[in-house]
Copies of this chain bind each other. A is one copy, B any other.
Amino acid sequence: MNNDKSEVKRVHLDNAAATPLKSEVFSVMSPFLTEEFGNPSSIHKEGVRARRAVDEARSSVARTLEIKSPGVIFTGNGTESNNLAIFGYVKYLHRIKKIAYQDMEVVTTKIEHPSITGVMEELIDLGVFVKFVEVDEEGIITIPALEAVLSEKTVLVTFAYANSEVGTVQPVLRLVRRIRKFEEVKGNEIKVHLDAAQAPLWLPCAFKQLGVDMMTLDAGKCGGPKGVGVLALRGGIEILPIMQGGGQEDGVRSGTENVAGIVGMAKALELAQANYKEKAESVAKIRDEAIIYLQEKISTVIVNGGQGEVRLANNINFSIPNLDTEYAVIYLDTHGVACSTKSACAGAGGGESIVVKTITGDATRARSTIRFSLGENTNIEDVKYAIDILATHCEKMQG
């Protein structure tokens, strides 16, 4: 299995695709993968202990996000959380509130994760009107752009806290405030769903600081196990399930709870949020130093996305026009550096980046992206090491 593990040092610059599972997380999970195997729906002691573990995890996530426990729904991953948030709320409006699909407008951007854009296509198929708010060249939703798409039929606005490819961080609270003001004036109810999958390690996720109604999280992107997500709901938000069954998770997500995964998710989120600010500050410094070094070393580099505060602390996304960056990523890999051309879910290899195409309008740039996503323990030497290898590769390609 491990015979292809190279002996050279590995530099992991693909933390947006997958974070290492923290040892503290593994520690809290392992009892539930060994002696503690109860089903939380069982009424005997083994079941009660499993139930208690799930409840404690729920309380922990609720504490971290500063919401009430019943608002925490454990799912199979961020993709499921996104599907559940949007379909679940639209279905609720349709079935319970008796709003026709044709009378609903949903607002999103064109730079979202495939689990959002895919859902939009399904909504359109149902008859819902999907409006794409424009983003600027950094990928930011501006207030005027938002104002241009809100209407009296808007029921839901959904976007990513931090873009998974170019790392653009949206001014969430500002956007939400504008939406609330619009609601006040026009009288319609608009819910805001935030895909925060890339956020917990670097950005504040407490609901009160963001003002949103629903939030998607994914354990595998913040130091926890793959196969667990959270859909967090502010008090009073109602959604319908997208899968039917035993009625677990307050009737919203059926299926025997992944106890070990849930316990791991809660621990990972707690650790991620405990010191996100310090981590973000120190990693952003490395990021910015690395960007300067990158531009010095490879003169044709163009950074995609914003700078400073509007960029996720760990994201370096750039284009090297006319370079076959899929091949470059493979070259980097053989020399010890794991990175990506774009988001793993959008096809980690070649092809055009829809995100970069959307924000820059430049197909050449969109076809030649590379994403370095740093981890909590990445140091500047690691990134410079990667840049040196890439620079060597670029020289070869030009020579």
Query: CA–CA, A234 to B89, complex, Å?
Result: 35
Flag whether A71 is at the interface (Cβ < 8 A): no
Alpha-carbon separation in the docked complex, A12 to B5 (Å): 42
**Is there a chain B Cβ closer than 8 Å to A44's Cβ?**
yes
Question: Are B14 and A244 interface neighbours, CB within 8 A?
Answer: no
Within 8 A of B (CB), among A105-123: 113-115, 117-119, 121-122
**A382 beta carbon closer than 8 Å to chain B:** no
B1, B34, B35, B255: the one contacting A53 at CB < 8 Å is B1
Which B residues lie within 8 Å of A2 (CB)? 49
Q: How far is A348 from B330 in the complex, measured between Cα atoms in Å? A: 52
- Residue interface bits A38-70, CB-to-B below 8 A is 1, else 0: 110111111111101100000000000000000
Complex alpha-carbon distance, A332 and B119, angstroms: 48
Known contacts being A326-B43, A333-B43, is A49 close to B345, with CB within 8 Å?
no
- Within 8 Å by CB of A5, from B45, B76, B113, B343, lies B45
Residues of B within 8 A of A227 (CB): 76, 227-228, 256-258, 260-261
Nearest chain B CB to A265's CB is how many angstroms away? 11
Residue A26 contacts which of B34, B76, B343 (CB distance < 8 angstroms)? Answer: B34
Check A299 for interface membership: any CB of B closer than 8 A: no
| A52 vs B2: C-alpha distance when bound (angstroms) | 11
Asked, given contacts A78-B255, A258-B226, whether A242 binds B244 with beta carbons under 8 Å apart, the answer is: no
How far, in angstroms, from A329 to B43 measured CA to CA in the complex?
A: 8
User: Known contacts A17-B41, A18-B39, A261-B227: does B115 contact A255 (CB below 8 Å)?
Assistant: yes
Residues from chain B with a CB closer than 8 A to the CB of A314 are none
Whether the pair B79, A255 counts as a contact (CB closer than 8 A) is yes
A218–B344 touching, CB < 8 Å: no
Cβ of B243 and Cβ of A242 under 8 Å apart?
yes
1/0 per position for A139-157, CB-CB distance to B under 8 A?
0000000000000000000
Give residues of chain A (65-120) contacting chain B, Cβ–Cβ below 8 Å.
Answer: 75-80, 82-83, 113-115, 117-119
Chain B positions within 8 Å of A17 at CB level: 39, 41-42, 47, 256
Q: Mark A345-358, 1 if CB is under 8 A from B, else 0.
A: 11111000000000
Determine which of B35, B47, B82, B255 lies in contact with A76 in the assembled complex, contact meaning CB atoms within 8 Å: B255
A21 near B44: Cβ-Cβ < 8 Å: no
Residues of chain B within 8 A of A117, CB atoms compared: 244
In the bound complex, CA of A141 to CA of B339 (Å): 55
Say whether B245 contacts A344, CB under 8 Å. no
A83 touches B344 (CB 8 A): no
Tell me the complex Cα distance, A227–B75, Å.
9
Assuming the contacts A39-B18, A42-B14, asked whether A254 and B34 have C-beta atoms less than 8 A apart, the reply is no
Q: Can you pick out 16 interface pairs between chain A and chain B where the beta carbons lie within 8 Å of each other?
A: A1-B49, A14-B46, A17-B42, A19-B37, A43-B333, A44-B340, A47-B338, A77-B256, A113-B245, A114-B246, A115-B245, A115-B255, A225-B258, A226-B258, A242-B243, A246-B345
Assuming A17-B41, A47-B344, A79-B255, what are 13 further A-B pairs, CB within 8 angstroms?
A: A19-B37, A26-B33, A41-B344, A43-B333, A43-B340, A44-B340, A79-B254, A80-B243, A83-B245, A113-B246, A115-B246, A227-B227, A254-B345
5 closest pairs, A vs B, by CB? A227-B258, A118-B244, A246-B345, A76-B76, A115-B245
